[in-house]
Structure formats: structure tokens, C-alpha cells
Amino acid sequence: MRWDIFCKVIDNHGDVGVCWRLATSLAGPDDTVRLWIDDPSALAWMAPGGCDGVTVVPWTPTHAARAASEAAPDVLIEAFGCDPAPEVIARFAEHADHEGARRHWINLEYLSAEPYVERLHGLPSPVFRAPGAGLTKYFFYPGFTERTGGLLRGPDLMGRRARFDRAAWFRRQGIDWQGERVVSLFCYEPPALEALLAQFEHAAEPTRLLVTAGRAAAALPPGPPRRGALAISWLPTLPQPEFDHLLWACNLNFVRGEDSLVRALWAGAPFVWQIYPQDDDAHHEKLNAFLDWLEAPPTLRGFHHLWSGIKDGDLPFLDRSTLASWAEVAGAARARLLAQDDLLTRLRRFVAQKS
């Protein structure tokens, strides 16, 4: 089967991260994937080795024009409502319902735990304007329940997690880990960041903070790498498998956006999610819906609100008891998700049912 995925990079690399994971999950002996992307630069560090069966196509007028003479995809996926190239849609429409098999147009939506996701997942959306007039695309919503599209997981993820050697990973990264508590920082510009650093600096237990490249590193206030009980290590940009290793190595993970939230859930360690802010504060409801699904205790819910700037106040103290209660929540959430089919399984089943 031939799959075309269209991705427009908005910012922060979450969109390309999700699309690359999907593309590599789909690729196999009987499946080839073209990932159309308007800015593939992040793949140089996110996926330096590429992937067999996945072709990255620069989303330019020149490459789109060539599609008129190339094989049409069996499945056309537009990620996050990005409006695929008209030339590809025209080629797709030309061959729809021909050659012995139907062709499918999927609108892969944003991840949310809000109730509307279950209502809208899988619904058809007729196309009335050229070049796709007469076709139907279907909404496919990732989510956390059986009545959604599920979450991207990847093959043997839990097996790789079980085989992960934490100490060896620290050595490969050149980090002098002395057994202290380890925290990862992947964030935007959280208003409570300085309060968190101060808490770590004056805590009785030593903390090693691993700061990811980009906005997290830029958000960190200047200062020495050692500040009381806090030691800071700055990381380079990490390929996707290494980002998983980072989350597995830590006792607490601060993540942001969509892709890293899902990876934190699979990691099973305590985490705090900084949701992407929206001008109309729609992210408040989205965050609360997720915390409801997570069954977050008051300390975890309150920390999320402060970390995302939804409320003001003092951060809950991250002692061992608090983190232990958060770890129970994270473990229970992962167990619920592992009992469900992943996004790839549900997507393939959805396409098969529409054929």
C-alpha cells in the first residue's frame, strides 16, 4: 500500500515529530510512505538515519507538479488540516475507486482528551470543491480511550524500555551521574521555571537537571551549572529514539506539546506537561480534560496549572512522597493505554473497513 502524508511545520517541531513517527510506523515490506513536508530541516537531527520505506519529499511547487505523472497514493493523510498539494489531490481523485481498490483520505487531527474527540472520530467530511470535489475525507482523532484513534506507540516499545541500561546511557551522554534524582526539562517558557530551579537548589536531595536544546535551554536563567543541590547538564538535539531514552533515564519529566506527552506516557515515570498556549485560552479546557482522564491528584493538577500559567501560587514541593504518588498515576495511565490498540493498529483497521 502507498501512503502519502502531508505535513506543514508550524513551530516547535511537534508536527514533524508526529508525522515522522507515523511514517516510520507505517513503512514495511508491503507499505511505502512519502512524507511531504515544507521544512524538512529538523529531520537532520530528529531522524539522521532516515528509514527504509519512507521517502521525504520537499513540499514545493516543483515536486507537487511532478505528482501528476506519478502513482497516486492508496491513502492520503493530511496532518492537522494542512491542505495537501492540489496536484496530489487531483491525481488521487483521478484514480479514486479505480484499479480494483478504493482510495482513502484521512484528516489526522490534534490530540485531545476532550469529549468531542469521541463524537467526531471517524466521521466523514464530503469534499465539495475542486480538485477533490466528490471525494470524502474522514476525521481521525488520536486519543486516550477506545472510542478514539489511540496513540502512536511503535514496535516492541515496552521491550526496549525493559532492556534500557540507564547507567550506560549516562556514560554515552558524557554525564557524570552520581545516583542523584534526575529530571528532564523540555518546555516553552513556563512562568514557574525560576521557582522550580530554586526548589531544586535548596532541596535536601541532590537533583541533576537535563536541559534539552532549543527553547528550554533559552528559557533557563543564566547561572553556573551547579547551584546548591542542583546540577545542570545541557543536552544536544536528540534523535527520536534518544529522546525516549532521556525520558526513561529520568525520575521526573517535564514535557511540552503533543509528541513528547505521548512519549512521557509510555515512559511511565512522573511527568508534568506544558500545554501549547492558545490566544483564546482554549488550552485551559484541554489541559483539564487530560488531567481528568489521567485521574491526577490535587498536587499534580495544581502543578500543571502553575506550570502552564493557568493559575498563580506556590509550586507543590517535589518530595519523594509526592513523586511516588505521581508515579502511581503515570503507571496506571500507561497500563490503561497498553490494554488498548495503538494508533497504527486502529488506522489500518479503519482503512480496511472503508475499502
Q: What backbone phi and psi angles, to 5 degrees, belong to 227?
A: -135, 90
**Long-range contact set of residues 299-308: C-beta below 8 Å, sequence gap at least 24:** 299/325, 299/326, 300/272, 300/325, 300/326, 300/329, 303/272, 304/272, 304/273, 306/191, 306/192, 307/190, 307/192, 307/254, 307/272, 307/274, 308/190, 308/274, 308/275, 308/277, 308/283
208 forms beta bridges with 182, 231
Nine cell digits for residue 205: 536531595
Q: What is the 8-class DSSP label of residue 32?
A: E
How far apart (Å, rounded) are the C-alpha atoms in residues 212 and 221? 14
Residues 306, 275 contacting (CB under 8 angstroms) = no
Residues near 306 by Cβ (< 8 Å), separated by ≥ 6?
A: 191, 192, 312, 313, 315
Amino acid at site 312: D
Q: Is 258 tagged catalytic?
A: yes
- What's the length of the chain? 355
Q: Are 273 and 255 in contact (CB under 8 A)?
A: yes
Which residue among 15, 78, 87, 342 is the active-site one? Answer: 15
> Measured in whole angstroms, how far is the alpha carbon of residue 187 from the centre of its chain?
13
Question: Does 78 participate in catalysis according to the annotation?
Answer: no
Q: Coil, strand or helix: which one is 302? A: helix
Helices (H), 141-258: 157-163, 166-172, 193-201, 215-219, 240-249
State the catalytic residue, choosing from 4, 74, 258, 342.
Answer: 258
Instruction: Give the active site residues.
Output: 15, 258
